Amino acid sequence: MARMRVAVLISGRGSNMAALVRAAQAPDYPAEIVLVLSDKPDAAGLAFASDAGIEALPIDRKGFAGKADFEAAITAALTARQIELVCLAGFMRLLSADFVERWRDRLINIHPSLLPSFRGLDTHERALAAGVRIHGCTVHFVRAATDDGPIIIQAAVPVLDGDTAETLQHRVLAAEHDIYPRALALVAGGHARVEGERVVLPDMAMSEGRPLISPAA
Ligand code: GRF
């Protein structure tokens, strides 16, 4: 089966993009990372991508008068490379409803919380302030509203006594690197379908799983 042609949009470090690139190096992975695009020309992730032999393309938001022109340049870059699916991975620009609609069900994002809790920024600080014992991360199809859309996969992460936003972020980021490649494989492999704004996985074997209890003792 032909591998799905994927672009990853980043703004900075790009550790989730790197996790996707590494996963896609497996010969049986259903997606190929064809392009890494950044709105910030100095994003560290661009160097990682070109070192991995992937086209790394900066499209500087500052070079455009408005959002529509900027997004048109992104769309042109994606269509020129016959991209079929777009992964947002720490891409810090809000995309317009037009762009999101154009890529409906072909645009996914990773967010560092168990959605629909803690949409937006500073999720780890807010999880600590709320006193939740379980936090986590989510990969979802993108809709026009921020951090909204059908959920593909989530990982739950315990909040430990003494956690700071930094230690919690570190634990959640490790889970992000685990679930984003799984989510992309589900979508690119044709296993995850959107039905009525929920994701169904009709041909996936579901384990019963165990509850994550936090604190465990
Ligand atoms: C991640 O925590 C991701 O969930 C959020 O932004 C961060 C990006 O980190 N959207 P990286 O650039 O992938 O290292």
Q: What is the mean pLDDT of the chain?
A: 96
Q: Could you write out the DSSP letters of every residue in 81-106?
A: TT--EEEESS--SPPPHHHHHHTTTS
Active-site option among 111, 124, 135, 140: 111
Region 94-109 average pLDDT:
98
Task: Note whether 49 and 21 are within 8 A (CB).
Answer: yes
pLDDT single digits (tens) 53-89: 999 999 999 999 999 999 999 999 999 999 999 999 9
pLDDT computed for residue 204 by the predictor: 78
Nearest to 185 by CA among 22, 15, 14: 22
CA of 217 to the centre of ligand 1 (A): 31
Q: At residue 116, does pLDDT exceed 90? A: yes
Residue nearest ligand 1's atom 8 by CA: 90
pLDDT single digits (tens) 128-175: 999 999 999 999 999 999 999 999 999 999 999 999 999 999 999 999
Region 100-105 average pLDDT:
98
Pocket test for ligand 1, best of 173, 177, 180 (most atoms within 8 A of CB): 173
pLDDT computed for residue 47 by the predictor: 98
Residue nearest ligand 1's atom 1 by CA: 90
Q: At residue 206, does pLDDT exceed 80? A: no
Residue nearest ligand 1's atom 14 by CA: 15
CA distance 120 to 5: 28
Pseudo-torsion of CA 115, 14, 131, 214, nearest 10°?
A: 80
Annotation marks residue 111 as catalytic: yes
Position in ligand 1 atom list of the atom nearest CA 10: 12
Q: At residue 1, does pLDDT exceed 80? A: no
pLDDT computed for residue 80 by the predictor: 98
Position in ligand 1 atom list of the atom nearest CA 11: 12
Residue nearest ligand 1's atom 5 by CA: 90
214 vs 209, higher pLDDT: 214
pTM of the model: 0.97
Q: At residue 208, does pLDDT exceed 80? A: no
Nearest to 5 by CA among 34, 26, 43: 34
pLDDT computed for residue 66 by the predictor: 95
Nearest to 115 by CA among 131, 149, 138: 138
CA distance 70 to 56: 17
CA of 169 to the centre of ligand 1 (A): 10
**Confidence label for 43 from pLDDT (cuts 50, 70 and 90):** very high
Position in ligand 1 atom list of the atom nearest CA 88: 10
Query: In the numeric block, which tokens belong to residue 217?
Result: 């003792």
Q: Could you write out the DSSP letters of every residue in 140-207?
A: EE--SSTT-S-EEEEEEEEPPTT--HHHHHHHHHHHHHHHHHHHHHHHHTT--EEETTEEE-TTPPPP
Name residues contacting ligand 1 (CB within 6 A). 10, 12-16, 89-90, 110-112, 173, 176
**Confidence label for 193 from pLDDT (cuts 50, 70 and 90):** very high
pLDDT computed for residue 205 by the predictor: 73
Position in ligand 1 atom list of the atom nearest CA 14: 12
Pocket test for ligand 1, best of 154, 176, 179, 184 (most atoms within 8 A of CB): 176
pLDDT computed for residue 53 by the predictor: 98
